[in-house]
Amino acid sequence: MCGIVGYMPGVREIDHQTVIGEMCDAMVHRGPDSDGTFISDKMVLGFRRLSIIDLRDEADQPLFNKDKSLALIFNGEIYNYKALRSELVDLGYEFISETDSEVLVHGYDAWGDGVLQKVRGMFAFAIWDARKEELFLARDFFGIKPLYYGAPSDDGSFFFGSEIKCFLKHPAFQKEVNAKALRPYLTFQYPATEETFFKGIYKLTPGTWMKVKDGSVIARGRYWDFNYRAADLSDDEAVSAIGETLRESVRAHQMADVKVGAFLSGGIDSSFITALFRPEETFSVGFKDYDGVFNETNLGARLSELLGFTHHKRLIDADDFFGALPVIQYHMDEPQSNLSSVPLYFLAQLASEHVKVVLSGEGADELFGGYDSYMDTPHLALYKRLPAFVRRGLYRTVGKSFPHSRLGDLAVRGGQPLRESFVGQAKIFPDDEALALLKPAYRSGPSAVELLAPYYDSLSGRDELTCKQVIDIRTWLPGDILLKADKMSSAHSLELRVPFLDKEVMRLASRLKPDQRVKDGVAKISLRKAALAELPEEWAKRPKVGFPVPLRDWLHQEKYYLAVKEIFSRPYVSTFFDQEKLLGYLQEHYEGKALRQRYIYTVLCFLIWYDEYFVKR
């Protein structure tokens, strides 16, 4: 893991060495081991390094091709770099290091954007072609590594990099809240639009590349995509293939010249990865004074003992949780209200005290069908037998009046078309409630249904399970799960790797039939069967829990109620929200009249982010 940043200079006269140095320093957490810069009339590049492979100075970036016409800055890992290196050596290329990074600059020299078809890994990188005066940007298959770009400047500068906060150090950068980002955020809990919360700054889409010349995008392309098309695999063949493919992916993801550990929650995903990996050290986090779903650290400790690993755990409390929110929203760059970001932040902090790299289980649910929302409960299956007009009527009455009750959820899921009822794994505010809370200036963004319409249009005729998985892989996975994984680990100079999110694993997962993913109320059924070869049955069959947080309880306590109330009462809150309605949500929850904890937290995270980036800075 590293950090990259750069810009095409505008017309303003500035000290580029000082500016790029400050931009690099803003992300020193991504790479505390070394830094590097490249400065020319047309391009300025900056780099911060976390040394993982080839720890020598020769592996520092920027890296160049032989005639120095190509300059590379790269964040990530290329797991098949040794094979690519051999291929390039046969073509006559000479290497000055043993790092995986160097295959990209020589590979681009040899194959152009075709190098992306050859690599296997996680990455976001930039190559400056001095001959053509063109910038080439590329992002990995799933969006494991972030890459931002844009030109909100007063002098024509074009920015790109791993973290938006770096751009703020450039004197020409113009900072403005993107008014269209807030409406979908209130539903999704994460920044869901291609344009970020900073107006004029965009996210490069996973699996794509772009070229930039003279500050303007001149070409774009998609080099990789996926498609669920069931193959003629028997159940036994599917289970065997999962075990073999995942074992090989875990082996590839162990590549490092430093110690590698693993996150181990006790759920099947991290447990399966850990059992295949057999690291020396594992890590888990839970909440003090809670057992069961709020504290699975004992499960991780038990499995580590069974398999012979050293296990480290940390317990956090409400003070830890609320105290960390400002630094977490700062590191996220954009507002994000996935509750699990907070325990993940502390988990990464713990792991960073012992290792430089961890393997983790992100991606298994999306690829193999692991979420409860992918399945119809027995009650929902019966409910769907009712005539459509009855279900639509119940949705308009019960569903809209009591959306967060069990009956209301049943009415919503059973009474709407799929493209309206399923917008991913987080649906915080229904769109009508989001609009009612927002001030008029912030209502212009797209609704969740509007944002997802192109994806659903492309899935016409596909089964419901596949539609849900594809929606999550294209939106929820890069927008929420992978973004928090990258930002929370990099905050502590820790590289997080995700063996499930490998293009060979995806190729296999996309060949599974729907009933080889979910069957008879069992999620990830084939993955669970494969895990039985490596894990005790208790772990292989454990239901999904995730990273639950006891926020509902905490917001009934006066201390935290008053802390949130102080933030909700600040003058700038009324710029964005109906302040009276917002304070009403908080009061209703505190008094036990309604469960509003997710509404409260989603808005709270936005306001803390705004305070970090537009009030303090």
Binding-site annotation: residue ranges for L-glutamine: 100
* Beta strands, E only, 413-568: 495-497, 518-519, 522-523
Residues annotated in a binding site: 100, 285, 360-361
Residue 566 has which token pair?
């102080």
Distance CA 601, CA 555 (A): 10
The stretches of 71-114 forming alpha helices (DSSP H) are 81-90, 102-111
Q: Which residues belong to the annotated binding site for ATP?
A: 285, 360-361
CB < 8 Å & 24+ apart, contacts of 448-453: 448/184, 448/187, 448/188, 448/192, 448/423, 448/424, 449/419, 449/420, 449/423, 451/184, 451/192, 451/193, 451/475, 452/419, 452/423, 452/424, 453/419
40 and 200 Cβ atoms separated by less than 8 Å: no
Integer Cα distance of 295 and 286 in angstroms: 4
Contact 186, 176 (CB under 8 A): no
Q: Which residues pair with 2 in a beta bridge?
A: 49
CA distance 228 to 216: 35
Q: How many residues does the chain have?
A: 617
State yes or no: is 2 an active-site residue: yes
As a whole number of Å, the CA-based R_g of the chain is: 24
Cα separation values, 69 from 46, 113, 158, Å: 17, 16, 20
The DSSP H or E segment spanning 240 is helix 235-253
Catalytic residue among 2, 24, 166, 467: 2
- DSSP per-residue string spanning 220-237: EEE---------S--HHH
Cα-to-chain-centroid distance, residue 214:
31
Torsion of CA 20, 22, 24, 30, to 10 degrees: -170
Which amino acid does the sequence have at 376?
D
Looking at 287-417, list the stretches that DSSP marks H as alpha helix, in order from N- to C-terminal side: 297-307, 318-332, 341-352, 364-368, 378-383, 388-394, 400-401, 406-415
Catalytic residues: 2
